Amino acid sequence: MCSAQRSFDDLGTPLHDVTFCVFDVETTGGNPETCHMTEIGAVKVRGGQVLGTFQTLVNPGCAIPPNITMLTGITNAVVMRAPSIDQVLPTFLEFMGGCVVVGHNVRFDWSFLQAAVRRTNGPLLGNQRIDTLGLARRLLNDEVPRFGLGELSRHYRFPKQPTHRALDDAWATVELLHLLIERASAWGVTGLDDLAALPTVAGHPQWRKLALTNHLPRRPGVYQFVDREGRVLYVGKATDLRSRVRSYFSSDKRRKVAQLLKETHEVKHQVCPSSLEAELIELRLIQQLQPRFNRRSKRPIKPSWVKLTTERFPRLAVSSTFSEGAMGPFGSRKEAHLIVEALHSAIPLRRCSTRIGRRGFEPAEAECSAAQLGVAMCPCSGTLSEADYEPVVERVRRALSGEAGLVLGTLERKMQNLAEAERFEEAATMRDRASAYVRAIDRRRRLDLLGGFDRIVIEADRGARIELGRGGALAPPRVPGAAEPDVPVPTLEEQLCVASWLQRHAGAVRLLTVSGSLSSPLPALPDYKPRAPVVL
């Protein structure tokens, strides 16, 4: 029996360890929804060794067209006593198991198999698939003019020749698969993920540079694209260096990737014990080297804070300096102003900038627009006392400290009312403000979590040990007998990076040692991300 279906983490499995199920079907026509299978043939192989074969005729439950009989030699009389697909399918699916499925134009054969599974109300199959037709077009295009299974078998004189019968065609496809794997090895293809990506990789204008990735390991780390003059063009991180860098030649469709690969002369790398260390090193290298093709993290964050002013009637302000009770830090003033809008939408705090001295001021001829609309309490009319205004200020203080319910409840009601009134753009604006406020609180919680412990040691990334000090400082590996290493104070960007990593990997790490607190009694925050519409 074949092993369980492989996960995405295992796609780097060496090809000699992969179990392939090479199969072929004969059918009554070309449409899987209206036509049916008449024969299934399959060969299971691993490391060049045949593990088993499967072959059976199938009664399609309908007449076989004469042209199909002339092509395959399968007649109505031949399949009359054959089992139906309902009888055949469970046995074949058990034979196939979780193997990597291979076929010549595998999409055709696979579509008939999936259609049969649907008719029997079975679950859709999720096996990884390899198409020898696509591989042949990329690897053999300089040797043969056409890529049909028959033409290729005759050209390369395979011992098994296709005959439009399922098992014979499967055997010919096995011969072709082994030839293609041999040819692909010249391009550094040694793993399953490399083989699956090769048809698109080989079609890339810069695919000849794929050899630059042959030395990359399947380990976490940081990679650098370097030009002929030794200038670093781009810095990136990866949990699998080889797979990530090779993806630039296939699945990465970003606009500047083509120019990046055109200028690349060398790919350097640094293996890291964990993906967390890779993220931190990437951040430091980008700020140090300022690579031309990197857009993010090139400038240190200039944090902004949202706080209350110290006037008699306080209002909200965005500042670049921290003060007690302020909310932040925010990576941009734009994000901070969005928080101000969220608080103004939920709490009727003063908005106008009229100066108020110790002796007060003369009432204005007209109240400010926010007061006239009834969305803010403002002393500009001269009728609002400090005692009446203080409860509003206190609500804002509590909202800035993280009491989410004071803001989110009001924003949710307004969002619901606007949506019911079909004012969808205004409802979306209210949702964006609520989402920004939630992000701000979540960021503050994560940073507070880093300050709650003096030292933690966790195990992650396939057994890698990570030691963090107060504030999320990453400690270097300890050397027995050596002095305690100095741990640099992390920057704000590094703190946010560590906090985000811990949140993303919370369910995949194992806590070994903790000194201090590594928990939060606060309730989970709601998610205001837009949902994709459901198509009925």
Active site residues: 164
What pLDDT was estimated at residue 526? 81
| Residue 195 to residue 182: CA distance in whole angstroms | 11
Domain boundaries, the chain: 8-187, 206-289, 304-355+367-442, 446-516
The answer for residues whose C-beta is within 8 angstroms of residue 459's C-beta and 6 or more apart is 465, 466, 509, 510, 512
What pLDDT was estimated at residue 484? 58
Whole-number average pLDDT of the chain: 86
Write the single-letter amino acid at 83.
P
Write the single-letter amino acid at 113.
L
For 248-264, the pLDDT digits (tens) are 887 667 778 888 999 99
Looking only at the bridges linking them, the beta strands covering 37-46 and 49-57 are antiparallel
What pLDDT was estimated at residue 477? 61
Over 80: is that where the pLDDT of 187 sits?
no
Least confident span in 21-30, 347-356, 391-400 = 347-356
| Residue 123 to residue 214: CA distance in whole angstroms | 38
Least confident span in 91-100, 154-163, 361-370 = 361-370
More confident residue, 120 or 483: 120
What pLDDT was estimated at residue 524? 78
Contact, 424 vs 530, CB < 8 A? Answer: no
Structure tokens at 463: 């057994």
When computed from its CA atoms, the radius of gyration of the chain, rounded to whole angstroms, is 32
Least confident span in 77-86, 310-319, 358-367 = 358-367
What pLDDT was estimated at residue 356? 66
Q: Domain 8-187 falls in which CATH fold? A: Nucleotidyltransferase; domain 5 (3.30.420)
Q: Domain 206-289 falls in which CATH fold? A: GIY-YIG endonuclease (3.40.1440)
